[in-house]
Amino acid sequence: MAKYTSTEWDEIRKKFRHSIMADTSLVSLAQNLDIQEWPHKGDEEKPSKYIDFDLNELMMMPEIAGNAAKADHLIGILKETLAFDDPFGDMVSQVEETASKENPILKTLSRLGIPEKYPLMLSNFSEGTRIVCASEGIKTIGEFANLGQQMATRVVLGGDFRNALNALSHGDEEGIAQFLPYRKGATGLHLAEAIGLIPAGLPRAEQLSLAKAYGAKLSNTDAAAAKPIGKDQVEKHEGMMRPTVNAALEWFKDDKEALVKHLANGGTYERYFVVLNDPVREAIAVKLLSGAVKNVPQTGGASVATATDEKKGGFFSKIFGKR
């Protein structure tokens, strides 16, 4: 028996016509809500594909095929997404109560040495949250914090938007490190963690496949879960991540110079990324940064280049060029 009536579906689909999430993938929406994944993949699998049909027509669509449980699942995803129109749930009363006071989120940023101008594009957020931020003109972590404080508009929000605000509100360092390149027990943001967050945005299965393609030593469980991928797939992933890597190098100029010195003194990329405490992301980060740093100009215009050092025997070795 169907859980939702035709009247409920009509109300939900009417509201969704005006939602900025109408063209967001159903898979992403389900992931944001931490509920059962939408079973159909493809670029066309968005709410906008379904909301023009009444319940009877919906039931006749091939993806639903008369299955009431599938229809309920679709409607449930859209309904729960709309629930975020009252954006932060249990945070609302707390935020409104402190609206006229000092912003506690900005206070946390200051205490932890996190710059308010840090670009949101270098943060680890889901597709849904990025769409929300773009629609509100949010480009920095400070602007993100202000939206949560001021509640200037009502927007549809993904789960990680709320989780990030909660982490910042309560100074939860582990929570903050899930979406910002913050190192627990330290202050400020760091290049190593920033590069490590880039592959964190990929599904874990894809991270494992990339790490395996790069020759990483994986645990038996991870090795079994890592599906072989071709060179074209590897290059596609790298192409998607490369602009973010370059943006991170531009932002973390001091860290970049420290890395160059680390490498010039015989250090390795592997050692640099050990702080990630995740061999899978470490392997991907090594590949991403080693490919980018060799083309980054040093102070004075000389370029950094890498070469194999047979005496060292490592995968990466010396850095050449004047400093």
Identify which of 3, 129, 130, 160 has the alpha carbon closest to the alpha carbon of residue 76.
3
**Can you tell me the distance from the alpha carbon of 123 to that of 76, in angstroms, rounded to the nearest whole number?**
29
**Can you tell me the distance from the alpha carbon of 313 to that of 174, in angstroms, rounded to the nearest whole number?**
36
Q: Answer whether residue 270 is part of any domain.
A: yes
306 token code pair: 């890498």
Q: Answer whether residue 191 is part of any domain.
A: no
Q: Answer whether residue 196 is part of any domain.
A: no
Whether residue 207 sits in one domain with residue 152: no
Whether residue 95 sits in one domain with residue 78: no
The answer to whether 308 and 317 are in contact (CB under 8 A) is yes
Find how far residue 250's CA is from the centre of its chain: 19
**SS3 for 73?**
helix
Question: Pick from 30, 60, 85: which residue ends a domain?
Answer: 85
Whether residue 72 sits in one domain with residue 149: no
Whether residue 161 sits in one domain with residue 135: yes
Question: Pick from 53, 85, 117: which residue ends a domain?
Answer: 85
Tens of pLDDT, residue by residue over 178-231, are 999 999 889 999 999 999 999 998 999 999 999 999 999 888 999 889 988 999
Identify which of 95, 102, 161, 97 has the alpha carbon closest to the alpha carbon of residue 128.
161
What does the buried/exposed string (b/e) look like for 193-208 if buried means 16 or more CB atoms within 10 Å of the residue's CB? Answer: bbbbbbbbbbeeebbb
| Domain, as residue range, for 248 | 201-320
**Can you tell me the distance from the alpha carbon of 269 to that of 280, in angstroms, rounded to the nearest whole number?**
14
The answer to whether 218 and 279 are in contact (CB under 8 A) is yes
Tens of pLDDT, residue by residue over 146-175, are 876 654 344 444 478 888 888 888 889 999
**Maximum separation of any 2 CA atoms in the chain, in Å:** 74
74 token code pair: 């679709």
Tens of pLDDT, residue by residue over 34-90, are 788 899 988 899 999 999 999 999 999 999 988 999 999 999 998 888 876 444 444
Whether residue 69 sits in one domain with residue 52: yes
Identify which of 143, 144, 108 has the alpha carbon closest to the alpha carbon of residue 125.
144
Whether residue 93 sits in one domain with residue 79: no
End-to-end CA distance of the chain: 73
Q: What's the predicted TM-score (pTM) here?
A: 0.64
Please count the structural domains in the chain. 3
Q: Answer whether residue 192 is part of any domain.
A: no
